Amino acid sequence: MAKKKQSEAEMQHAETMTRLEHRFELCSQAIRVVLAMVYATMYGVIAWLTYLSIEALAGKDTEALILADVKIGWAVSLTAGFAGYAYARRERRLRKTTVQRLQARIRSLEQQIAPGRSTSNLTDMGNTNPEDK
């Protein structure tokens, strides 16, 4: 078969898209470089502040402060741990409800693409079939 010749408008459109894709790639690379510099600066500042904190406490008697910090630190760690657990549970529930909501559409698309294909027998929420356990 002979290749269909492109019209002038189609060639112009293809050229414009190529230029836009190139610009997008350059912008993406620039963003990655800036993001890497931000992270490097952030970790550098954290390391520098840690160094200054250790230098300020070096050779001084800080037993009373450390005992007070332990109680506060433990409360903060328990709070952070509970918040992390609650966040994980919420995200898991959100993921499962999203899977359940999209399941019917996914099944119909899979049937259109490959009608003879077998199913994985996952539940509507994405869990393993109870019979497989």
At 100-132, the pLDDT tens digits run: 888 888 888 888 888 887 777 777 777 787 777
- 55 and 66 in a single domain? The answer is no
- 68 and 100 in a single domain? The answer is yes
- Residues with Cβ within 8 Å of 99's Cβ and at least 6 positions away in sequence, in order, are 124, 125, 126
- Residues with Cβ within 8 Å of 47's Cβ and at least 6 positions away in sequence, in order, are none
Higher pLDDT pick, 77 / 90: 90
- 80 and 92 in a single domain? The answer is yes
* Span 9-43, pLDDT tens digits: 888 888 888 888 889 889 999 999 999 999 999 99
Contact indicator for 94, 68 with CB cutoff of 8 Å: no
**pLDDT at residue number 110:** 82
**pLDDT at residue number 67:** 57
- 32 and 49 in a single domain? The answer is yes
Kindly state the average pLDDT of the residues 77-105. 91
- 33 and 78 in a single domain? The answer is no
- How many other CB atoms are found less than 10 A from the CB of residue 35? 10
CA distances from 127 to 99, 104, 106, 130 (A): 10, 15, 15, 8
Supply angle C-alpha 120, 121, 122, rounded to 5.
95
Contact indicator for 99, 123 with CB cutoff of 8 Å: no
Q: Which domain holds residue 102?
A: 61-115+124-133
- 24 and 73 in a single domain? The answer is no
Is residue 5 a part of any domain in this protein? no
- 65 and 92 in a single domain? The answer is yes
- 76 and 42 in a single domain? The answer is no
**pLDDT at residue number 70:** 64
Is residue 20 a part of any domain in this protein? yes
- 133 and 68 in a single domain? The answer is yes
Domains held by the chain: number? 2
Indicate the pTM of the whole model: 0.40
